[in-house]
Amino acid sequence: EKGSYDHYMLKEIHEQPVALRQTLHGRIDGDDVALEEFPPGSFDDVDRVQFVACGTSYHAALYGEWLLSKDGVDATTYIASEYAASPAPVDEDTLVVGVTQSGETADTLEALESARERGARTLALTNVIGSTAARTCDDALFIRAGPEIGVAATKTFSSQVATLVLLAERLVRDITGSPTSDHADRLDALASLPEHVESITTDSRAADISQRCLGDNGHFFIGRGNAFPVALEGALKFKEITYGHAEGFAAGELKHGPLALVTPETPVIAIGTGHDEARLKSNVTESRTRGAPVIAIAPRTASDLADVAEEFLPVPATHPDLVAILANVQLQLIAYHAANAMERSIDKPRNLAKSVTVE
Ligand code: F6R
């Protein structure tokens, strides 16, 4: 039931602190993770990881790839429909992780099937116990976000990424023999993620700011590092529920083409992590110079993007590896409030279905 909320999407955005508490419950043990099905050594034989996923889950998978790569694990993310058609080489030491909220997405199931037939080990990272992906993969890891009704995935993205942080810790330890860099601080920050998200869902200026994003020619979302998949996700959410044109870019790509489209009619939403932001800051300045309204989202204390952007939406300061999860919550709210102002069919956008069971 929607209760007092106008839409399931808004309810599910607000449910994220609860969903994340369920996701993390019992899975952080001091400075290590405790994943019920995966004790230390579970992935000793793995030497590389391939993610396969679609849509929002693909963006979560890219975040997972970023987490693994920075700590020395060979990881690549594939769009499931592409992988199904032209699969990457695998062997028995390849772990193929299907990231799929529903566990029923035909393209993802087909990619997993192709990996399994060729001898890879498969793992379903999913929300649905008993789903086809959970039943047919060698292993399953559940994100425990609870049912999601809105077609636009919100709480399940946050729970997917939080689960990937946990899984990355196990994989990095098993594959490289050492914990992730900064593991104690990062796991501490992960434990605080529900309350950090709550501080955004209870107090955000996103509704006001979203009014700057109504009916423009285009909306560009830019970020670097872990903010890049979140830029893609922010653009996907925005386009699917507002029907406005939106694109996400790696911020460094702006000058390799998209900058030609930047004008006073194209809001640019820049996502900073409060870490190594000088280059992003110059991308913001490049966009302002072309007259674009720039909205920056970054930690209040650690970022100086506020000085160069026209609008600034803060997120709580936390470990830089996790900031983009918080920024994404602001992007969900911007998309929601813009779509609401335009009276869109938020829970059932035109032409889209919650579970895509055809290829
Ligand atoms: C976007 C959205 C879709 C799904 C995609 C994969 O808001 O929900 O892009 O993420 O169809 O679905 P799952 O995760 O069920 O495999």
pLDDT in tens, 243-261: 999 999 999 999 999 999 9
Residue 194: strand pairing partners = none
Q: What is the pLDDT of residue 136?
A: 98
How far apart are the CA of 223 and the centre of ligand 1, in A?
A: 21
* pLDDT the model gives residue 268: 97
Query: Which residues neighbour 177 within 8 Å (Cβ) at sequence distance 6 or greater?
Result: none
Dist. CA 246–CA 295, nearest whole Å: 14
Which of the four pLDDT bands, split at 50, 70 and 90, describes residue 43?
A: very high
Which residue's alpha carbon is nearest to atom 10 within ligand 1?
A: 56
**What are the structure tokens assigned to 212, written together?**
């700057």
Q: Which of 54, 62, 78, 350 to mutate to test the pocket of ligand 1 (most atoms within 8 A of CB)?
A: 54
Task: Say what the pLDDT of residue 142 is.
Answer: 98
pLDDT tens-digit readout, 63-121: 999 999 999 999 999 999 999 999 999 999 999 999 999 999 999 999 999 999 999 99
- Extended strands (E) in 139-277: 139-142, 219-223, 246-250, 268-271
Alpha-carbon distance of 41 to 85, in angstroms, equals 33
Give 54 Cα–ligand 1 centroid separation in angstroms.
6
127 Cβ inside 6 Å of ligand 1: no
**Could you give phi then psi for residue 44, rounded to 5 degrees?**
-55, -35
Q: Residue type for 9, please?
A: M
Q: CA–CA distance from 82 to each of 43, 58, 74, 87, 298 (Å)? A: 26, 12, 20, 7, 33
Quote the pTM value. 0.97
**DSSP output for 298-309:** EETTT--HHHHS
Mean pLDDT for the chain? 95
Question: What's the confidence (pLDDT) of residue 82?
Answer: 97
The pLDDT score that the predictor gives to residue 216 is: 76
pLDDT tens digit sequence for 279-306: 999 999 999 999 999 999 999 887 789 9
| Structure tokens that stand for 322 in this block | 């996790």
177-208 pLDDT, tens digit per residue, is 999 999 999 999 999 999 999 999 999 999 99
Mean pLDDT of 22-37: 95
Q: Shortest CA distance to 54 belongs to which of 121, 117, 116, 103?
A: 103
Decide if pLDDT at 32 tops 90.
yes
Cα gap 193→188, rounded to integer Å: 9
Most informative mutation of 57, 99, 352 for ligand 1 (most atoms within 8 A of CB): 57
What is the DSSP track for 32-61? EE-BTTB-TTTTTT--EEEEEE-HHHHHHH
E strands, the chain, in order = 28-29, 32-33, 48-53, 75-79, 94-100, 121-126, 139-142, 219-223, 246-250, 268-271, 294-299, 311-315
pLDDT digits (tens, 9 = 90+) for 130-170: 999 999 999 999 999 999 999 999 999 999 999 999 999 99
Cα of 225 from ligand 1 centre, angstroms: 22
Question: Looking at residue 340, what is its pLDDT?
Answer: 96
Q: Catalytic: 354?
A: yes
C-beta of 57 in contact with ligand 1 (< 6 A): yes
Per-residue pLDDT, 356: 81
pLDDT of residue 351: 86
Q: Identify the DSSP state of 349.
A: -
